[in-house]
């Protein structure tokens, strides 16, 4: 049964007060939103009951904006195409986006939104029509643009869709940047597509180097989701010495103790639905049909890289010899699962830190386009649009802020005598980072 994602994140923010004293007004600010928007668009697209006909259909679009600690910053965050898009869910993801940005020193308030529909049911032509209608509505209601809000790829969207949004915005409103995650030939940043998946590896490496997590030399991993995040996580596994043994996506999955990842990637590239389903017949492995089967596999690392709330308390109890949960998706773990993971000695590298590589490289692209400066003097966007330089800047930011989270956790534990998890430490770190800007904005005295 799905829980209330927004309620969960608000509870986590309030929990922070037991370990770190923040002004009440600040906690209250963070538990609210700056703005929220919901609208319906009508588009003439393929009739699901008669594919030869076009009919007018209605689609719900939403966007939620969390908080802007400094009036010179802007909002930013993913734009998704998925049937489960609701305002409440986007409100919760907008808060996560804020925290991700603040951990990294990015001058944004978090936002998230999208269109509630299943893009797999529509043709490319229909997708263009629906996306452009949403852009027109967003322009009409001042919900998009470089002075207010930057959209980025998310679940069900990609660089091509970002370019449609950019192009239509330029045509209808003004020819200036309004999205990140654009194709490289249209002003995108090399490495943006790979950034979230690669960033997960960097995040784990830092937690290993700082001795928070002990893993064998060549640890095994199971992966849920093979969209942009999961695909690129898998692609970099070899370089980071990780051995993936099980993968599941929305259509099916595969287990093999020696899963040939390069062959799996070629298989997915050539599959019309871009799925791993059916690969077990090619590699001689076992078929994985559902979450329970995947998460019961004995492995050192579990990587949820799909949707929210998949790690339920029941699933956390199934984990078999797992040492670390590396959160590639946003909000993949239900609050009820956290104490179970802690009791079982499983370290969690939380989403707001672990998957921040994506927004970081989005911000590098935005910095190139607009020159909006980071609020952290030590965050250095790459000097050129070069993939190696992008990865180097990303690695610096992830390692510096990862170490800061680990040190903060150790300090709080020694001061309070209580154990806190990496998630809470990451929340506290994000909140500490944005507080000075907020105090100026509220004219509070330091």
Q: How is residue 282 written in tokens?
A: 């090619």
Four-residue CA torsion sign, 335, 336, 337, 338: positive
Q: Which stretch binds ligand GLU (CB under 6 A): 22-30, 72-80, 170-178, 384-392?
A: 72-80
Which residues, 6+ apart, have CB-to-CB distance to 184 below 8 Å? 190, 385
Q: Kindly tell me which of 333 and 362 has the beta carbon lying closer to ligand GLU.
A: 362
Q: Kindly tell me which of 129 and 362 has the beta carbon lying closer to ligand GLU.
A: 362
Look-up of token digits 């001795």 = 211
CA dist 177 and 187 (Å) reads 9
Query: What is the distance between the terminal CA atoms of the chain, rounded to a whole angstrom?
Result: 45
Q: How is residue 138 written in tokens?
A: 């967003």
Q: Which stretch binds ligand GLU (CB under 6 A): 71-79, 197-205, 237-245, 414-422?
A: 71-79
Which string of x and - marks every residue 146-185 that binds ligand GLU (by CB under 6 A)?
Answer: ------x-x-------------------------xx----
CA dist 55 and 172 (Å) reads 25
Shortest reach from residue 60's CB to ligand GLU, in Å: 20
Q: Which stretch binds ligand GLU (CB under 6 A): 75-83, 171-179, 261-269, 418-426?
A: 75-83
Q: Kindly tell me which of 188 and 285 has the beta carbon lying closer to ligand GLU.
A: 188
Going through 226-382 in order, the beta strands assigned E by DSSP cover 243-248, 253-255, 286-288, 301-304, 324-326, 347-349
CA dist 310 and 2 (Å) reads 9
3-state class percentages of the chain: helix first, strand second, coil last, to nearest 5: 45, 20, 35
Which residue of 69, 77, 252, 253 would you call a contact of ligand GLU, by CB under 6 A?
77
Q: How is residue 393 written in tokens?
A: 């800047």
Q: Kindly tell me which of 207 and 366 has the beta carbon lying closer to ligand GLU.
A: 366
Look-up of token digits 């588009």 = 43
Which residue of 78, 113, 225, 350 would you call a contact of ligand GLU, by CB under 6 A?
78
Q: Kindly tell me which of 279 and 353 has the beta carbon lying closer to ligand GLU.
A: 353
Shortest reach from residue 238's CB to ligand GLU, in Å: 25
Rounded to whole angstroms, the maximal C-alpha distance in the chain is 68
Query: What does the DSSP 8-state code read for residue 215?
Result: -
Report if residue 76 touches ligand GLU, rule: CB under 6 A. Answer: yes
Which string of x and - marks every residue 360-399 that binds ligand GLU (by CB under 6 A)?
Answer: --x-------------------------------------
Give the three-class secondary structure for 56: strand
Report if residue 197 touches ligand GLU, rule: CB under 6 A. Answer: no
Shortest reach from residue 84's CB to ligand GLU, in Å: 15
Shortest reach from residue 179's CB to ligand GLU, in Å: 9
Which residues, 6+ apart, have CB-to-CB distance to 120 below 8 Å? none
Shortest reach from residue 77's CB to ligand GLU, in Å: 5
Q: Kindly tell me which of 74 and 406 has the beta carbon lying closer to ligand GLU.
A: 74
Q: Kindly tell me which of 105 and 246 has the beta carbon lying closer to ligand GLU.
A: 105
Report if residue 401 touches ligand GLU, rule: CB under 6 A. Answer: no
Active site includes 292?
Answer: no
**Residue 410 — φ and ψ, nearest 5°?**
-65, -40
Which string of x and - marks every residue 335-364 that binds ligand GLU (by CB under 6 A)?
Answer: --------------------x--xx--x--
CA-closest candidate to residue 178, choices 430, 43, 370, 331: 370
Shortest reach from residue 247's CB to ligand GLU, in Å: 20
Tell me, by CB under 6 A, how many residues bind ligand GLU.
Answer: 12
CA dist 228 and 196 (Å) reads 8
Q: Kindly tell me which of 181 and 285 has the beta carbon lying closer to ligand GLU.
A: 181
Shortest reach from residue 198's CB to ligand GLU, in Å: 14
Of the residues 20, 53, 100, 112, only one is catalytic, namely 112
Neighbours of 41 (CB within 10 A): 20
32 class by beta-carbon count within 10 Å (0-12 exposed, 13-18 middle, 19+ buried): exposed
Shortest reach from residue 154's CB to ligand GLU, in Å: 4
H helix runs in 31-121, sequence order: 87-104
Q: Kindly tell me which of 204 and 340 has the beta carbon lying closer to ligand GLU.
A: 204
Going through 306-413 in order, the beta strands assigned E by DSSP cover 324-326, 347-349
Buried b (16+ CB within 10 A) or exposed e, 395-414: bebbbebbebbbebbeebee
Give the three-class secondary structure for 394: helix
Report if residue 330 touches ligand GLU, rule: CB under 6 A. Answer: yes
Q: Which stretch binds ligand GLU (CB under 6 A): 76-84, 166-174, 198-206, 253-261?
A: 76-84
Shortest reach from residue 139's CB to ligand GLU, in Å: 19
Catalytic positions, written as ranges: 112
Q: Which residues bind ligand GLU (CB under 6 A)?
A: 76-78, 152, 154, 180-181, 330, 355, 358-359, 362
């Amino acid at each position: 049964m799905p829980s209330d994602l927004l309620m969960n994140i608000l509870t986590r923010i309030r929990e922070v007060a037991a370990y770190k004293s923040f002004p009440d007004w600040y906690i209250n600010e963070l538990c609210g939103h700056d703005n929220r928007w919901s609208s319906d668009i009508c588009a003439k697209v393929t009739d699901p009951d008669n594919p030869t006909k076009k009919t007018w259909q209605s689609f719900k679009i939403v966007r939620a904006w969390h908080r802007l600690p400094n009036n010179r910053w802007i909002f930013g965050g993913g734009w998704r195409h998925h049937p489960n898009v609701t305002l409440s869910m986007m409100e919760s993801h907008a808060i996560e986006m804020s925290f991700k940005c603040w951990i990294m020193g990015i001058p944004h308030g978090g936002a998230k939104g999208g269109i509630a529909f299943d893009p797999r049911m529509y043709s490319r032509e229909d997708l263009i029509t629906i996306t452009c209608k949403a852009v027109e509505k967003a322009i009409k209601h001042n919900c998009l643009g470089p002075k207010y809000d930057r959209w980025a790829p998310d679940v069900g969207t990609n660089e091509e869709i970002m370019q449609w949004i950019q192009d239509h915005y330029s045509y209808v409103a003004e020819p200036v940047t309004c999205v990140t995650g654009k194709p490289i030939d249209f002003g995108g940043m090399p490495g943006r597509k790979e950034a979230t998946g690669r960033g997960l590896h960097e995040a784990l490496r830092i937690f290993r180097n700082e001795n928070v997590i002990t893993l064998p030399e060549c640890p095994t991993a199971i992966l849920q989701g093979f969209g942009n995040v999961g695909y690129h996580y898998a692609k970099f596994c070899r370089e980071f010495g990780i051995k993936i043994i099980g993968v599941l996506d929305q259509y099916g999955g595969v287990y093999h103790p020696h899963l040939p990842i390069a062959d799996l990637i070629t298989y997915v590239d050539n599959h019309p639905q871009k799925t791993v389903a059916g690969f077990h017949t090619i590699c001689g492995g076992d078929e994985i049909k559902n979450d329970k089967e995947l998460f019961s596999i004995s492995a050192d690392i579990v990587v949820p890289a799909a949707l929210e709330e998949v790690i339920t308390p029941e699933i956390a109890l199934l984990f078999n010899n797992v040492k670390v949960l590396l959160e590639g998706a946003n909000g993949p773990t239900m609050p009820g699962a956290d104490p179970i993971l802690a009791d079982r000695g499983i370290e969690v590298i939380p989403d707001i830190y672990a998957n921040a590589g994506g927004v970081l490289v989005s911000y590098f692209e935005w910095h190139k386009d607009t020159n909006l400066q980071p609020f952290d003097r030590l965050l250095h966007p790459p000097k050129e649009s070069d993939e190696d330089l992008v990865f180097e800047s990303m690695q610096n930011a992830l390692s510096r802020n990862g170490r800061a989270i680990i040190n903060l956790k150790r300090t709080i534990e020694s001061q309070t005598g209580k154990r806190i998890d990496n998630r809470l430490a990451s929340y506290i770190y994000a909140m500490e980072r944005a507080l000075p800007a907020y105090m100026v904005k509220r004219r509070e005295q330091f």
